[in-house]
Amino acid sequence: MTTGLDVTTTHEVLLKVSVPVTVEGMIVPSDEEIRALHHKYAPTRKAFDLVFTHCTIVCAIAEQLIDRSGFTLDRALVRAGCLLHDIGVYRLYDRSGRLDHTRYVSHGVLGHQILAEEGLPETLCRFCSHHTGMGLTRKDIRDQGLPLPEADHLAETVEEELVMYADKFHSKRTPPVFVSADTYAASVARFGEDKAIRFKELRSCFGVPDLAPLVSAHGHALL
């Protein structure tokens, strides 16, 4: 789907990966290539700004956690996963530019479809379909009647876990906000004890990000 958006428009993000990199035989797209994909699928500039800004914030959070944790993981893969994870949101906008919140839970699967159609490897596609909440199980989908294929959509690799975790600290709500670890912990508990336990495990594993610099940079409130 083409939108006619100008892919050369400057976005207030420092792009660090200027060329594609190869990870275990898999080519990971550059930041510029990923931004071009966002422009390709974004129906409006407003949608692009909302989604791509969120993705870059999640990326900054994930990279901060990598630097502080000392974990050995694939940094380039995490970066690409963060920048791509919400691309499916664009398929939830109607022709008038309104976002269909009733089907929002499907944005991950829609993103997986977009990346697969673009020929990107399954490893990257999974960052879209396996980051929602603290993960969705077959039982979650069946019991809640969610509009998703009945399967386990759970983060499995440490890179997938980190992208899913970092995503929880910023919300694209209107207006966008940062979310503290304590606020998210209280919120996720309503989805079940297993989700609260999962977040607690990831919090213990990766630590809590320092959101103050990002709050200052973007002007979004911290809840």
Q: Kindly state the helix (H) or strand (E) to which residue 49 belongs, with its residue range.
A: helix 45-69
Q: Tell me which fold the domain 21-170 belongs to.
A: Hypothetical protein af1432 (1.10.3210)
Strands 221-222 and 177-178: parallel
Q: Is the peptide bond before 175 cis (omega within 30 degrees of 0)?
A: yes
Yes or no: say if 28 and 76 are a contact pair by the CB < 8 Å rule: yes
In tens, the pLDDT along 87-110 reads 999 999 998 889 999 999 999 999
Q: What is the pLDDT of residue 97?
A: 87
Considering the entire predicted model, what is its pTM?
0.89
Higher pLDDT, 7 or 38: 38
Strands 177-178 and 170-171: antiparallel
Q: What is the pLDDT of residue 7?
A: 33
In tens, the pLDDT along 50-60 reads 999 999 999 99
